[in-house]
């Protein structure tokens, strides 16, 4: 296990991206000491959609997964949102421990002002390092394209979030929250701002909340807020620390 961890760290910090992706795919399963069986399935999948030019839409998918999953989107076979990179920071922190890594993750693809260029086949793709699932829908935009307002001077929108997360007490857990543009991030727990100088809580650059050494006291509702000078959006999630398993 130590050898695997050292190899993974060296790859993540030094290797070219293509080599890193292949090596991580081989090693990530070896870092999992899951207390349950692996699984990945859709809770909420895509459906075909017809839009009129100028309409806005938000298409959403949701998966339940063990271990934790990430979601990304493709349109006509090309990546248009999200990443397939797994949460290695948490996996490295929990190396050698039994982990639950179970929960529900959702993602939204926003179409702020539909035009003919938005017509196509969309895929919501989820992966957890053990398996991959995808849901497909066709979006058809009818009507003559009009002038759409710029989205540059707008508030960020949440695109990926943890809906609920189960993890064993004593382990680290990540609550995912991502946006469609650069944002300032804040997190609250049960309505109160979280202190980020306590040595346990950390907001990662992508917006995720990383919590070390979780305990029963950490159970409850968390809210992430993505903001800029034009406004903000927020998402809620629930963390459930489970009883610690002794090897």
- 90-125, pLDDT tens digit by residue? 999 999 899 999 999 999 999 999 999 999 999 999
Give the range among 32-41, 128-137, 213-222 with minimum mean pLDDT.
32-41
The kind and range of the H/E element at 66 are strand 57-66
The confidence score (pLDDT) of residue 88 equals 86
The confidence score (pLDDT) of residue 18 equals 47
Q: Which CATH superfamily is domain 32-242 in?
A: Immunoglobulins (2.60.40.10)
Residue 134 has pLDDT above 70, yes or no: yes
92 C-beta neighbours (distance < 10 Å), count: 14
Half-sphere exposure of 123 (CA within 13 A, CB side): 12
For residues 241 and 219, is the Cβ–Cβ distance under 8 A? yes
What does the pLDDT average to over 75-84? 97
Please state the φ and ψ torsions of residue 17, each to the nearest 5 degrees: -60, -40
Residue 235 has pLDDT above 90, yes or no: yes
What does the pLDDT average to over 3-30? 49
Residue 21 has pLDDT above 60, yes or no: no
For residues 161 and 106, is the Cβ–Cβ distance under 8 A? yes
Query: What band does 152 get if pLDDT is binned at 50, 70 and 90?
Result: confident
The confidence score (pLDDT) of residue 159 equals 98
Question: Which residues 6+ apart lie within 8 Å of 193 measured at CB?
Answer: 186, 187
The rounded distance, in Å, linking the Cα atoms of 40 and 104 is 10
Write the pLDDT tens digit of every residue in 183-196.
999 999 999 999 99
- With a pLDDT cut of 90, the percent of the chain lying above it is 78
Residue 168 has pLDDT above 90, yes or no: yes
pTM for this entry: 0.87
What is the Rg, in whole angstroms, of the alpha carbon atoms belonging to the chain? 19
Half-sphere exposure of 87 (CA within 13 A, CB side): 27
């Amino acid at each position: 296990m130590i050898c695997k961890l050292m190899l993974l760290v060296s790859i993540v910090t030094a290797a070219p991206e293509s080599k890193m992706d292949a090596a991580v795919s081989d090693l990530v399963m070896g870092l999992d000491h899951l207390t349950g069986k692996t699984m990945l399935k859709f809770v909420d999948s895509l459906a075909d959609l017809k839009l009129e030019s100028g309409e806005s839409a938000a298409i959403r998918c949701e998966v339940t997964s063990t271990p934790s999953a990430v979601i990304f989107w493709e349109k006509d076979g090309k990546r248009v949102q999200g990443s397939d990179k797994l949460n290695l920071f948490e996996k490295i922190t929990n190396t050698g421990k039994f982990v639950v890594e179970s929960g529900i993750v959702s993602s939204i693809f926003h179409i702020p002002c539909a035009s003919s260029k938005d017509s196509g086949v969309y895929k919501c793709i989820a992966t957890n390092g053990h398996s991959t699932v995808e849901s497909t829908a066709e979006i058809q935009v009818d009507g003559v394209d009009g002038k759409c307002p710029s989205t540059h001077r707008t508030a960020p929108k949440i695109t990926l979030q943890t809906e609920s997360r189960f993890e064993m007490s004593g382990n680290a857990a990540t609550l995912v929250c991502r946006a469609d543009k650069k944002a300032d991030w804040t997190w609250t727990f049960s309505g109160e701002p979280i202190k980020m100088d306590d040595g346990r809580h950390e907001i990662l650059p992508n917006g995720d909340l990383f919590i070390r050494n979780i305990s029963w006291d950490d159970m409850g509702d968390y809210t992430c807020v993505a903001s800029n000078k034009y406004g903000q959006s927020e998402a809620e999630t629930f963390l459930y620390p489970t009883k610690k398993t002794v090897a």
